[in-house]
Each structure stands twice: as C-alpha cells, then as structure tokens.
C-alpha cells in the first residue's frame, strides 16, 4: 500500500514528503541548543555544561543527540576543555579502524577517508569490548560543499531487517579483521594504528582489547576482533544495532570497487580491512549492499557551521559522513 500511495504523489509532493519525514526524524533525534551557549568561548561554555550536565544527559537519554550552535570554540584545545567538562575520561583512539590524525590531548581528526566517498552510519569503535558511551564532534572548518555528518538511531534497527541476516548476526556477531602494513605496504601501518613502535606494548594493548593477532613475515600485523552485532542499550535495555560490518566491508562502496580489491588482494581475507560473520564466514556483497541501503534510510542530516559541537549517545546514535569538496575539519573526542 505504501508503495502504491507513493506512486500516486506528484514529484514535488514526494520531495516534500521525504523532507518532512527527515524533519520529523531529525526533531525526534536531535536537540539544538543555541541561544543559551551563543558567543561562549571554551571557559564559559565548559562552566555552562558543568552547571547543566543533568539537563544535557536527560536530552541524550530521551533524544540521543545534542547540537550546540553558535559557540566561539576555535581550537582543538578549547574543544577538549569542553568535552572534559562533561566527559572527564576522554580516551585515546588506540587500535581503532579508521585513519585519523592525533591533534593533541585526546582529540583526533574525524576519519580521513577520501572526501569523495560517503561513510555509512556506525556507532563508534563497537569492535572493542568496551565502546565509548559518548562521542563529541566539533566543526573547526566547514567544507565548501557537502561534508554533512548524518546521524541515525540504531535502536530497534534489527527489527526492520531481513530475519535471515539478523539471526545470523545475532548468533555469530561480527569478526573484524585488519591487515596492517609494517610501514611500506598498502593502507595503515601498525605503528600508526597503535601510536607506538614497541611490539610488546602493542601486544599488551591487543590482549586488553581481546584481539587475536599475528605478526606476519613481511613485517605486518593481522588483527582480529570479535564483537556482538546487536546489544542492549546500557540505560534502556532496548536492542541496538552495533554492527560495523557495512563500514568494514568494501562492498558498501559499490560492486566495481569490491571487484577491484578482490583482484588486487586475491581474497577478502587479505583486504586491509574486512568484516565477516563471527564464525569467519563471508557476509556476501549483496547482503552488505542491502544493509547499506537500510542504514542509509535512517540518516538524518544537518549542515555544519563553524564552532558547532555535536554530542551523541554512542550506545545507540550512529554517525557517518557525506562526501565533500574543500578543506573540511571536524574534530572528535570519545569517552
Ligand atoms: Fe566514526
């Protein structure tokens, strides 16, 4: 019925209908706080957050995302001060699967994948046994065009998916594999990922993260992380889709890209980054394409302004990135 109804709409009505659907999802998810914090530099804004912490936490529980707009934050140091006023245990991004630059303190750039490709929705670092509860973003410089950070609620997402896929993910979880170079090969090196060149220290980190690992003959490091695809929200108990299988599987970039990688590496298991079902079975490019589309349908979008700070409940609100042109700079803190 829904499909027939949509076909009867005139094109402009269809666009209006999609926009109002997006607006409805956005207002349910995202609370914009502007007048209260407008013109505040890091010191005043941190004090405001300290005084209003309970209010902000309540919004995170009810809606999941807060956008602070109109601040005078202009540096990663100021951003870190703000984050720590609510999230004193800001953490390092050691062993994470995305290319980032460490800016100082515990602040990083957002993922530095090619500006031309979209990054699908994902809750951050859910391949670790203890993912961050909170993720903070700060817009240091807007893109010339594009570069939005779509967000989406992953609570109850599994309920709308094909049960054939969900049951398998629920039972097996996800196996995330990174093949890291020793500095000369493709992709990220293990020195970059672990911010360290000491193999003993890296092994201690890997063990603390519950990772399997192998030092390879060509000087590289293979890392395997198993994690649940679906887990209850720590505060509400509602099931949340935490799988990053889409992001870790190159089929989300289209069949041409996936086929090229297969030719280059000879098999999925050798890709720099790849996801399998938890038992090691391949997920299949068609199912990744299906999941990519279903996740994209949950995206709600806002346009960044300089000084914006976005705070998400990472235990259920996923984020992504739209392609962009320009010198976009979004910084990240996790706690
Ligand atoms: Fe991310």
- pLDDT tens digits, residue range 35-50? 999 999 999 999 999 9
Number of domains in the chain: 2
Residues 176 and 227 in one domain: yes
Distance 123 CA to ligand 1 centre (A): 7
pLDDT band, very low/low/confident/very high, at 21 (cuts 50, 70, 90) = confident
CATH number, domain at 150? Answer: 3.60.130.10
83 CA to middle of ligand 1, Å?
A: 17
111 in the same domain as 38: yes
Domain with 93, as residue range(s), is 25-154+300-334
d(CA 286, CA 192): 32
Contacts of 147 (CB under 8 A, 6+ apart): 115, 304, 321, 322, 323, 324, 326, 328, 330
What is the pLDDT averaged over residues 128-157?
97
Asked if the model's pLDDT at residue 9 lies above 70, the reply is no
- pLDDT class of 19 with cuts at 50, 70, 90: low
**Mean pLDDT value across residues 65-78:** 97
Distance 283 CA to ligand 1 centre (A): 21
pLDDT at 269 over 90: yes
| Residue 16 in domain | no
Give alpha helix (H) positions in the chain.
2-8, 11-29, 42-51, 53-62, 76-86, 163-172, 190-194, 199-208, 245-248, 255-265, 285-296
Residues 275, 261, single domain; the answer is: yes
Selection from 166, 213, 168 nearest residue 190 by Cα: 213
| Residue range 96-122, pLDDT digits in tens | 888 899 999 999 999 888 999 999 999
**Same structural domain for residues 150 and 161?**
no
Q: How far is the CA of 110 from the centre of ligand 1 (A)?
A: 7
Does residue 218 sit in the same domain as residue 308?
no
pLDDT classification of 277: cutoffs 50, 70, 90: very high
232-260 average pLDDT score: 95
- What phi-psi label fits residue 176: left (phi over 0), alpha (psi between -120 and 50 degrees) or beta? beta
For residue 273, is pLDDT > 60? yes
Q: Which helix (H) or strand (E) holds 34?
A: none
Residues 284, 231 share a domain: yes
**What is the per-residue pLDDT for 17?**
61
Which tokens go with 322? 């739209």
Same domain, residue pair 195 and 285 = yes
Q: Of 7-16, 123-132, 199-208, 310-319, which gets the smallest average pLDDT? A: 7-16
Based on the fold, state whether residues 249 and 283 are members of the same structural domain: yes
| pLDDT value of position 8 | 43
pLDDT number for residue 111: 87
Q: Is residue 2 included in any domain, yes or no?
A: no
Distance 295 CA to ligand 1 centre (A): 14
Distance 12 CA to ligand 1 centre (A): 34
Listing DSSP states for 165-234 in one string gives HHHHHHHH-EEEEEEEBSSSSSS-BHHHHHT---HHHHHHHHHHTT-EEEE-TTS-EEEEEEE-SEEE-T
CB 260 within 8 A of CB 84: no
Domain annotation covers residue 308: yes
- Has residue 229 got a pLDDT over 60? yes
Which residues, 6 or more positions from 6, have their beta carbon under 8 angstroms from its beta carbon? 14, 17
Residue 200 counted as domain residue: yes
Tell me, yes or no, whether 315 and 234 share the same domain. Answer: no
């Amino acid at each position: 019925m829904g499909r027939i109804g949509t076909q009867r709409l005139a094109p402009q009505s269809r666009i209006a209908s999609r926009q109002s659907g997006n607006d409805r999802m956005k207002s349910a998810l995202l609370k914009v706080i502007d007048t209260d914090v407008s013109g505040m530099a890091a010191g005043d804004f941190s004090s405001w957050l300290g005084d209003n912490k309970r209010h902000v936490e309540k919004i995170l529980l009810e809606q999941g995302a807060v956008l602070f707009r109109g601040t005078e934050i202009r540096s990663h140091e100021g951003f870190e001060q703000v984050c720590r006023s609510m999230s004193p245990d800001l953490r390092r991004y050691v062993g994470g699967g995305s290319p980032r630059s460490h800016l100082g303190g515990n602040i990083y750039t957002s993922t530095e994948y090619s500006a031309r490709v979209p990054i699908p929705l994902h809750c951050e670092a859910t391949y670790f046994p203890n993912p961050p509860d909170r993720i903070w973003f700060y817009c240091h410089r807007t893109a010339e065009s594009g570069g939005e950070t779509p967000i989406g609620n992953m609570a109850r997402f599994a309920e709308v998916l094909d049960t054939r896929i969900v049951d398998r993910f629920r039972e097996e979880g996800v196996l995330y594999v990174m093949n890291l170079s020793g500095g000369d090969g493709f992709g990220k090196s293990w020195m970059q990922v672990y911010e360290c060149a000491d193999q003993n220290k890296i092994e201690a980190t890997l063990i603390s993260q519950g990772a399997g690992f192998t030092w390879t003959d060509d000087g590289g490091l293979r890392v395997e992380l198993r994690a649940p695809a679906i887990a209850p929200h720590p505060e509400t108990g509602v099931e949340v889709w935490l799988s990053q299988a889409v992001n870790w599987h190159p089929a989300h970039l289209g069949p041409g890209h996936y086929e090229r990688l297969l030719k280059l590496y000879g098999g999925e298991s050798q890709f720099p980054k790849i996801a399998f079902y938890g038992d090691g079975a391949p997920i299949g490019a068609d199912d990744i394409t299906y999941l990519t589309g279903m996740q994209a349908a949950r995206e709600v979008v806002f346009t960044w302004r300089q000084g914006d700070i976005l705070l998400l409940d990472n235990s259920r609100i996923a984020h992504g990135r739209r392609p962009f042109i320009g010198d976009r700079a979004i910084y990240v803190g996790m706690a």
